[in-house]
Chain A
Amino acid sequence: MLAKIHITLKKDVLDPQGKVIANSLSDLGFDGIQSVRQGKYIEILLEGDDKDAANSKLNQMCEKLLANLVIEDYSVEID
């Protein structure tokens, strides 16, 4: 099973990188951009096929290491 984890900054945390990306995109002529938030994407290849068990394990991974819950949100998706 392939787990896909997205980690992004929480909404109330300033994202200076996102801001710079937004500015650069409009400098390049892409209009209509409201805002940009950037984050991390992690792929984890798991053994077995128990999606529920995997899901709870992945949530633990995120909470213990992969995300810093003070500033980050995460979402887990399993293919």
Chain B
Amino acid sequence: MKSHVIVFPGSNCDRDVAVAIENISGSAPEMVWHKNTSIAESDLIVVPGGFSYGDYLRCGAIASTSPVINEVIKKAKAGVPVIGICNGFQILIETSLLDGALIRNNSLSFICKDIYIKPENTSSIFTKNNVVAKMPIAHNEGNYFASKDTIKKIKDHDQIAFRYCDANGVVSEESNPNGSLDNIAGILNDKKNVLGLMPHPERAVELNLGSDDGKHIFEGVLK
């Protein structure tokens, strides 16, 4: 089991992801500095949350042009499983590996709280454990947006990974924390080996932290 976690200067969930991966798989991931231009053979690459390069222009925009990201794109296209969490999701969106855009939360403020998500696609390695999962979100720009055509395309190709719901799995306006279209919390690429999601599964891997539902997302790849 070889996994890699990308580290940008402003990443701040890199350690949390590394700890989660090690707890679940038993082996620590290799941390890959953003100036690197190659990544060794990998079973999973995670682009973690944080503020990559300060997120000053647009979240993830600068990171999407960084040296290491070209390599991530190459690996993703070759079929290596890639997860982008929070800022990592924003980066993958900016690279166009994933469709749509992430805009400012409709509340116009940063939101950090527990939410529930449920898988929409149930066949990908990330989503096959079809359960409602509790985990935190912590973001300012997690409001998923895409044009009508894009939404149709990702629906037709079963690319919606997760939608925000309540504790019982009911998807509704009330359970949508940030205004995302169709309550979309995470999406997949066409080939289903790239997942981007706003919630933080790595912060929900032990009951001491409030939930261990986040494990499901990693387990499909790591076990």
Contact = CB atoms under 8 A, between A and B. Distances in A.
Given A65-B61, A68-B61, A71-B103, A16 B108 contact: yes
B94 A68 contact: yes
A66 B65 CA distance: 11
A16 B106 contact: yes
Interface string B92-124: 011000001101111010000000000000000
A16 to B, nearest CB: 5
B78 interface: no
Interface residues of B, number: 18
Contacts, number: 36
Interface residues of A, number: 13
B58 interface: yes
A17 B141 CA distance: 12
Contacts of A45: none
B145 A71 contact: yes
B101 to A, nearest CB: 4
A43 to B, nearest CB: 14
A65 B108 contact: no
B146 interface: yes
Contact of A13 (B62, B103, B106): B103
A20 B147 CA distance: 23
Nearest to A66: B57
A65 B65 contact: yes
B69 to A, nearest CB: 13
Nearest to A13: B145
A68 B108 contact: no
B209 to A, nearest CB: 31
Given A65-B57, A65-B61, A65-B65, A70 B104 contact: no
Interface string B170-204: 00000000010000000000000000000000000
Interface in B30-80: 57-58, 61-62, 65
Contacts of A64: 65
Interface in A41-79: 64-66, 68, 70-71
B36 to A, nearest CB: 21
A12 interface: yes
A70 B93 CA distance: 10
Interface of A: 9, 12-14, 16-17, 20, 64-66, 68, 70-71
Given A66-B57, A68-B101, 9 more contacts: A9-B103, A13-B103, A13-B145, A14-B106, A20-B108, A65-B62, A70-B101, A70-B145, A71-B145
10 contacts: A13-B145, A14-B106, A14-B145, A16-B105, A16-B179, A20-B108, A65-B57, A66-B57, A70-B93, A71-B103
